[in-house]
Chain A
Amino acid sequence: EAGVVQSPRYKIIEKKQPVAFWCNPISGHNTLYWYLQNLGQGPELLIRYENEEAVDDSQLPKDRFSAERLKGVDSTLKIQPAELGDSAVYLCASSLSFTYNEQFFGPGTRLTVL
Protein backbone atom coordinates (compact mmCIF):
# COMPACT_ATOMS: atom_id res chain seq x y z
CA GLU A 1 0.00 0.00 0.00
CA ALA A 2 1.34 3.42 -0.92
CA GLY A 3 2.14 5.76 1.92
CA VAL A 4 1.51 9.48 2.20
CA VAL A 5 2.95 11.24 -0.82
CA GLN A 6 4.28 14.78 -0.71
CA SER A 7 5.81 17.03 -3.32
CA PRO A 8 8.12 18.68 -3.82
CA ARG A 9 10.63 17.14 -1.44
CA TYR A 10 12.79 20.27 -1.42
CA LYS A 11 12.06 23.88 -2.28
CA ILE A 12 14.30 26.91 -2.21
CA ILE A 13 12.73 30.31 -2.74
CA GLU A 14 13.48 33.94 -2.06
CA LYS A 15 11.56 35.78 0.62
CA LYS A 16 8.28 37.37 -0.42
CA GLN A 17 7.76 34.68 -3.09
CA PRO A 18 4.77 32.31 -2.94
CA VAL A 19 5.17 28.56 -2.46
CA ALA A 20 2.82 25.60 -2.47
CA PHE A 21 3.10 22.08 -1.11
CA TRP A 22 1.02 19.11 -2.18
CA CYS A 23 -0.02 16.03 -0.22
CA ASN A 24 -1.84 12.86 -1.19
CA PRO A 25 -2.87 10.85 1.87
CA ILE A 26 -3.20 7.09 2.19
CA SER A 27 -6.25 5.88 0.32
CA GLY A 28 -9.32 5.75 2.55
CA HIS A 29 -7.88 8.04 5.22
CA ASN A 30 -10.46 10.68 6.02
CA THR A 31 -8.30 12.79 8.30
CA LEU A 32 -5.41 14.82 6.93
CA TYR A 33 -2.96 16.94 8.89
CA TRP A 34 -0.35 19.52 8.00
CA TYR A 35 2.51 19.97 10.46
CA LEU A 36 5.50 22.28 10.59
CA GLN A 37 8.76 20.98 12.03
CA ASN A 38 11.64 23.27 12.89
CA LEU A 39 15.13 21.92 13.39
CA GLY A 40 15.51 20.27 16.77
CA GLN A 41 11.79 20.48 17.52
CA GLY A 42 8.85 18.14 17.27
CA PRO A 43 6.16 18.62 14.64
CA GLU A 44 3.53 21.28 15.37
CA LEU A 45 0.02 21.01 13.95
CA LEU A 46 -0.97 23.70 11.47
CA ILE A 47 -4.34 22.38 10.30
CA ARG A 48 -6.48 19.25 10.43
CA TYR A 49 -9.06 18.22 7.84
CA GLU A 50 -11.92 15.80 8.27
CA ASN A 51 -12.72 14.96 4.65
CA GLU A 52 -12.90 18.38 2.99
CA GLU A 53 -13.65 20.35 6.16
CA ALA A 54 -10.92 22.18 8.07
CA VAL A 55 -11.87 21.35 11.67
CA ASP A 56 -8.80 22.71 13.47
CA ASP A 57 -6.86 25.57 11.92
CA SER A 58 -6.17 27.47 15.13
CA GLN A 59 -2.39 27.22 14.65
CA LEU A 60 -2.38 28.27 10.99
CA PRO A 61 -1.03 31.83 10.47
CA LYS A 62 -3.89 32.90 8.30
CA ASP A 63 -2.34 36.16 7.16
CA ARG A 64 0.06 34.29 4.91
CA PHE A 65 -0.84 30.59 5.04
CA SER A 66 -3.79 28.92 3.37
CA ALA A 67 -4.78 25.33 2.77
CA GLU A 68 -7.41 23.43 0.87
CA ARG A 69 -8.68 19.91 0.46
CA LEU A 70 -11.39 20.45 -2.09
CA LYS A 71 -12.50 16.89 -2.82
CA GLY A 72 -11.57 15.44 0.54
CA VAL A 73 -8.56 13.58 -0.84
CA ASP A 74 -5.36 15.44 -1.68
CA SER A 75 -4.47 18.77 -0.14
CA THR A 76 -2.41 21.86 -0.85
CA LEU A 77 -0.73 24.16 1.65
CA LYS A 78 0.29 27.59 0.42
CA ILE A 79 2.43 30.37 1.82
CA GLN A 80 2.21 33.83 0.32
CA PRO A 81 4.43 35.71 0.81
CA ALA A 82 7.12 33.53 2.36
CA GLU A 83 9.32 34.94 5.12
CA LEU A 84 12.78 33.86 6.27
CA GLY A 85 11.28 32.31 9.41
CA ASP A 86 9.15 29.96 7.33
CA SER A 87 12.19 27.82 6.57
CA ALA A 88 11.29 24.42 8.02
CA VAL A 89 10.04 20.98 7.08
CA TYR A 90 6.34 20.79 6.24
CA LEU A 91 4.93 17.37 7.03
CA CYS A 92 1.63 15.94 5.89
CA ALA A 93 0.03 13.06 7.79
CA SER A 94 -3.17 11.07 7.49
CA SER A 95 -5.22 8.72 9.62
CA LEU A 96 -8.38 6.66 9.18
CA SER A 97 -10.19 8.98 11.58
CA PHE A 98 -9.26 11.58 14.10
CA THR A 99 -10.03 9.55 17.21
CA TYR A 100 -6.90 7.85 18.46
CA ASN A 101 -5.87 6.23 15.21
CA GLU A 102 -2.20 6.11 14.23
CA GLN A 103 -1.07 8.99 12.05
CA PHE A 104 1.09 8.14 9.07
CA PHE A 105 3.48 10.83 7.95
CA GLY A 106 4.75 11.67 4.51
CA PRO A 107 8.45 12.37 3.86
CA GLY A 108 7.92 16.12 4.15
CA THR A 109 8.88 19.15 2.09
CA ARG A 110 12.04 20.91 3.22
CA LEU A 111 11.57 24.64 2.56
CA THR A 112 14.45 27.09 2.53
CA VAL A 113 13.62 30.79 2.26
CA LEU A 114 16.57 32.98 1.28
Chain B
Amino acid sequence: RKEVEQDPGPFNVPEGATVAFNCTYSNSASQSFFWYRQDCRKEPKLLMSVYSSGNEDGRFTAQLNRASQYISLLIRDSKLSDSATYLCVVNLGGKLIFGQGTTLQVKP
Protein backbone atom coordinates (compact mmCIF):
# COMPACT_ATOMS: atom_id res chain seq x y z
CA ARG B 1 0.00 0.00 0.00
CA LYS B 2 1.30 3.45 -0.90
CA GLU B 3 1.90 5.83 1.99
CA VAL B 4 -0.10 8.58 0.29
CA GLU B 5 -2.84 7.64 -2.16
CA GLN B 6 -4.64 9.83 -4.63
CA ASP B 7 -6.98 9.23 -7.54
CA PRO B 8 -4.77 10.12 -10.53
CA GLY B 9 -7.74 11.31 -12.60
CA PRO B 10 -7.75 13.06 -14.96
CA PHE B 11 -10.59 15.25 -13.84
CA ASN B 12 -12.02 17.12 -16.82
CA VAL B 13 -14.30 19.96 -15.76
CA PRO B 14 -15.78 23.06 -17.42
CA GLU B 15 -14.78 26.55 -16.36
CA GLY B 16 -16.71 27.67 -13.32
CA ALA B 17 -17.18 24.16 -11.95
CA THR B 18 -16.41 23.09 -8.41
CA VAL B 19 -14.08 20.12 -8.13
CA ALA B 20 -12.83 18.14 -5.14
CA PHE B 21 -9.75 15.97 -4.76
CA ASN B 22 -9.23 13.44 -2.03
CA CYS B 23 -6.17 11.86 -0.53
CA THR B 24 -5.54 9.25 2.15
CA TYR B 25 -2.36 8.58 4.09
CA SER B 26 -1.34 5.44 5.90
CA ASN B 27 0.88 6.61 8.76
CA SER B 28 -1.00 8.12 11.69
CA ALA B 29 2.25 9.68 12.93
CA SER B 30 2.23 12.09 9.97
CA GLN B 31 2.74 15.55 11.36
CA SER B 32 1.77 18.11 8.76
CA PHE B 33 0.03 18.17 5.44
CA PHE B 34 0.17 20.13 2.23
CA TRP B 35 -1.11 20.45 -1.29
CA TYR B 36 1.48 21.17 -3.96
CA ARG B 37 0.68 22.14 -7.52
CA GLN B 38 2.77 20.97 -10.46
CA ASP B 39 2.28 22.36 -13.96
CA CYS B 40 3.22 20.21 -16.93
CA ARG B 41 7.00 19.78 -17.15
CA LYS B 42 7.54 22.21 -14.26
CA GLU B 43 8.59 21.82 -10.65
CA PRO B 44 6.13 21.36 -7.77
CA LYS B 45 5.15 24.49 -5.86
CA LEU B 46 3.42 24.79 -2.53
CA LEU B 47 -0.26 25.59 -2.97
CA MET B 48 -1.33 25.54 0.65
CA SER B 49 -0.84 23.88 3.99
CA VAL B 50 -3.71 21.84 5.43
CA TYR B 51 -4.88 22.29 9.00
CA SER B 52 -7.27 20.22 11.12
CA SER B 53 -9.64 23.14 11.42
CA GLY B 54 -9.80 23.49 7.65
CA ASN B 55 -8.40 26.46 5.80
CA GLU B 56 -9.28 28.54 2.83
CA ASP B 57 -7.23 30.56 0.36
CA GLY B 58 -9.45 32.34 -2.11
CA ARG B 59 -11.18 29.71 -4.23
CA PHE B 60 -9.26 26.87 -2.58
CA THR B 61 -10.36 25.07 0.58
CA ALA B 62 -8.35 22.32 2.27
CA GLN B 63 -9.60 19.95 4.93
CA LEU B 64 -7.88 17.39 7.13
CA ASN B 65 -9.52 14.53 9.02
CA ARG B 66 -6.86 12.97 11.24
CA ALA B 67 -9.18 10.25 12.53
CA SER B 68 -9.85 9.03 9.00
CA GLN B 69 -6.38 9.97 7.73
CA TYR B 70 -8.00 11.82 4.90
CA ILE B 71 -7.16 15.13 3.20
CA SER B 72 -9.21 17.03 0.68
CA LEU B 73 -8.88 20.01 -1.64
CA LEU B 74 -11.88 21.86 -3.01
CA ILE B 75 -11.55 24.28 -5.90
CA ARG B 76 -14.50 26.57 -6.56
CA ASP B 77 -15.19 28.49 -9.77
CA SER B 78 -12.48 26.65 -11.71
CA LYS B 79 -10.32 28.70 -14.08
CA LEU B 80 -8.45 27.51 -17.15
CA SER B 81 -5.27 28.39 -15.27
CA ASP B 82 -6.11 25.83 -12.57
CA SER B 83 -5.22 23.04 -15.02
CA ALA B 84 -2.32 21.22 -13.39
CA THR B 85 -1.46 18.20 -11.28
CA TYR B 86 -2.24 18.52 -7.58
CA LEU B 87 0.04 16.59 -5.25
CA CYS B 88 -1.05 15.58 -1.77
CA VAL B 89 1.92 15.69 0.60
CA VAL B 90 2.45 14.55 4.17
CA ASN B 91 5.36 15.39 6.45
CA LEU B 92 6.57 12.38 8.41
CA GLY B 93 9.50 13.13 10.65
CA GLY B 94 10.65 15.96 8.42
CA LYS B 95 10.43 13.86 5.29
CA LEU B 96 7.89 14.93 2.67
CA ILE B 97 6.01 12.02 1.15
CA PHE B 98 4.17 12.79 -2.06
CA GLY B 99 1.14 11.18 -3.56
CA GLN B 100 1.19 10.45 -7.27
CA GLY B 101 -0.90 13.50 -8.00
CA THR B 102 -4.34 14.18 -9.42
CA THR B 103 -4.52 15.80 -12.83
CA LEU B 104 -7.09 18.53 -13.41
CA GLN B 105 -7.99 19.79 -16.86
CA VAL B 106 -10.34 22.78 -16.94
CA LYS B 107 -11.98 23.28 -20.31
CA PRO B 108 -13.61 26.40 -21.77
- Give the B-binding residues of A (Cβ under 8 A): 40-45, 48, 56, 91, 98-100, 102-103, 105-108
Partner of A106, one of B43, B94, B95, B96: B43
Question: A-B contact count, CB below 8 Å?
Answer: 40
Set of chain A residues within 8 Å of B31, measured between Cβ atoms: 100
Smallest CB separation, A5 vs chain B (Å)? 12
| Whole-angstrom CA separation of A91 from B87 in the bound complex | 15
Set of chain A residues within 8 Å of B42, measured between Cβ atoms: 107
Set of chain A residues within 8 Å of B89, measured between Cβ atoms: 42
| Whole-angstrom CA separation of A99 from B96 in the bound complex | 11
Also in contact, A40 and B99, with CB within 8 A (given A105-B43, A105-B45, A108-B43): no
Q: Are A40 and B8 in contact (CB under 8 A)?
A: yes
Residue of A nearest to B6 (CB): A42
Instruction: Say yes or no: is B25 at the interface (Cβ < 8 Å to chain A).
Output: no
Also in contact, A42 and B32, with CB within 8 A (given A103-B96, A108-B43): no
Smallest CB separation, A2 vs chain B (Å)? 14
Partner of B44, one of A45, A48, A105: A105
- Give the A-binding residues of B (Cβ under 8 A): 4, 8, 31-32, 42-46, 87, 89, 91, 94-101
Q: Are B45 and A41 in contact (CB under 8 A)?
A: no
Partner of B43, one of A41, A48, A100, A107: A107
Smallest CB separation, A21 vs chain B (Å)? 14
27 inter-chain pairs at a CB distance below 8 angstroms, sorted by A residue, are: A40-B8, A40-B100, A40-B101, A41-B100, A41-B101, A42-B4, A42-B89, A42-B99, A42-B100, A42-B101, A48-B94, A48-B95, A91-B43, A91-B44, A99-B94, A100-B31, A100-B32, A100-B91, A100-B94, A102-B46, A103-B46, A103-B96, A105-B44, A106-B43, A107-B42, A107-B43, A108-B43
